[in-house]
């Protein structure tokens, strides 16, 4: 480990760090500790338990993990299952798959098509979430939506996507929304691969698939793992689908983020909401630790 000389004294350095430290302590560390405490109480926003919440032990957790009912629609287990499907479908398959496909499709190519497709993917990512929700609401509308107009032209009927296939709809929506991150990551990773590798394989007569499978994929695998963990983490916590379906119909798109929101901010059961938040944060913590361990191993390898 090289040690570069300091430009300023440690005292100035500490002073410069102070505001950031204050924010981190107040908005990251303190909430993390406090939410654990809250999860053992019956804190509400109004009524007697607002000012003087009582300690209720594990009651909030017992309610969450009440295995007699937890797979029913609108319960925690069912919400977790929906979220796992959502992460698998929209992040791991959708975003990472499509991102890799687009990055590979335009690998070592320039031209208008690359510029147009890349720009569109990035646009879908940067437009404010409320706006994309309205755009998709229009796109998927049963009677007037563009998607059904296209299907109808091919004689494929007019399904009511948000009503009959709500989970599939938000998966496709989230793939569309978030592919940019994976695409940009894979594009910049591909650019670091020396062209001579590919040229050698071409001289040896490798097919397109062989080049991908035996040269690019092994070189990309580290980036792919990084990407998968990060998008899993984000997709697990994403709230945007609420703007499209509101968690419905009949709780079929009730992701854990929406379940938390409804418990804490619509029914104002903060103790219960805190218990859910603790479970989610520990799942996040596990994912983040895996990410950091892989990051450290990659640094050690280079």
Partner 1 sequence: MNRMSPLARAGLFLLAILLGLFFVLPMLWLITAPLNPRTTLSVTLPSQPSLDNFRAVFDNGFAIRALLVNNLIIGGGAMVLVAVVATLASYSLSRTRVPGSKLLVYVLILFSSVVSGTAAMVPIFLLAYNLGLINEHIGVILVMTGGLLPSAIFIMRDFVDSIPRSYEEAALVCGASPRRTFWDVAMPLVRPGVLVVAIWAFVNAWGAFLVPLVLLRSPEKMPASIAFYSFYTEAGTPNLPLVSAYAFLYTIPVLLLYLIINWRFGFRFFGGIKR
Q: Which of residues 16-55 bind partner 1 (CB under 8 A)?
A: 16-17, 19-21, 23-24, 26-32, 34-35, 38, 43, 45
Residues 92-131 that bind partner 1 (CB under 8 A): 98, 101-102, 105-106, 108, 113, 116-117, 120-124, 126-131
How far is the C-alpha of 191 from the C-alpha of 137, rounded, in Å?
37
How far is the C-alpha of 266 from the C-alpha of 61, rounded, in Å?
19
Radius of gyration of the chain (CA): 24
From residue 248, give the alpha-carbon distance in Å to each of 89, 236, 264, 269.
Answer: 18, 18, 18, 20
Please report whether residue 134 would count as binding partner 1 according to CB under 8 A.
yes
Please report whether residue 267 would count as binding partner 1 according to CB under 8 A.
no
Nearer to partner 1, 5 or 68 (CB): 5
Closest CA relative to residue 242, chosen from 229, 232, 255, 260: 255
Among 64, 87, 170, 258, binds partner 1 (CB under 8 A): 258
Q: Which backbone phi and psi does 43 adopt, to 5 degrees?
A: -55, 130
Other CB atoms within 10 A of residue 95 CB: 27
Which among 55-63, 72-80, 81-89, 147-155 is the span making contact with partner 1, rule CB under 8 A?
147-155
Minimum separation from the CB atom of position 68 to partner 1 (A): 25
Residues 179-218 that bind partner 1 (CB under 8 A): 181, 184-185, 187-188, 202, 208
Residues 69-98 that bind partner 1 (CB under 8 A): 98
Minimum separation from the CB atom of position 217 to partner 1 (A): 18
H or E, element range at 91: none
């Amino acid at each position: 480990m090289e040690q570069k000389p300091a430009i300023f004294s440690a005292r100035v350095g500490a002073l410069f760090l102070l505001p950031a430290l204050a924010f981190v302590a107040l908005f990251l560390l303190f909430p993390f500790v406090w939410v654990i405490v809250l999860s053992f109480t019956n804190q509400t926003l109004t009524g007697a338990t607002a000012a003087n919440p009582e300690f209720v032990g594990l009651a909030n957790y017992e309610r969450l993990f009440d295995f007699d009912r937890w797979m029913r629609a609108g319960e925690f287990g069912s919400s977790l299952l929906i979220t796992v499907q959502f992460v698998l479908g929209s992040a791991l398959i959708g975003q990472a798959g499509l991102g890799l496909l687009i990055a590979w499709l335009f690998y070592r190519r320039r031209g208008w098509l690359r510029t147009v497709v890349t720009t569109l993917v990035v646009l879908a990512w940067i437009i404010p979430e409320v706006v994309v929700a309205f755009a998709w609401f229009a796109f998927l509308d049963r009677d007037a939506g563009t998607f059904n107009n296209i299907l109808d032209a091919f004689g494929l009927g007019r399904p009511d996507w948000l009503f009959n296939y709500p989970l599939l709809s938000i998966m496709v929506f989230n793939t569309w929304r978030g592919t940019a991150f994976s695409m940009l990551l894979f594009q910049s990773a591909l650019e670091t691969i020396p062209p001579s590798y590919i040229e050698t394989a071409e001289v040896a007569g490798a097919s397109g698939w062989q080049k991908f499978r035996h040269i690019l994929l092994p070189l990309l695998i580290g980036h792919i793992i990084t990407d998968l963990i990060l998008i899993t983490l984000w997709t697990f916590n994403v709230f945007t689908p609420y703007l499209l379906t509101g968690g419905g119909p009949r709780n079929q798109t009730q992701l854990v983020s929406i379940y938390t929101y409804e418990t804490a901010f619509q029914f104002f059961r903060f103790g219960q909401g805190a218990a859910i938040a603790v479970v989610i944060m520990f799942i996040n913590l596990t994912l983040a630790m895996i990410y950091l361990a892989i990051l450290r191993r990659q640094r050690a390898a280079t």
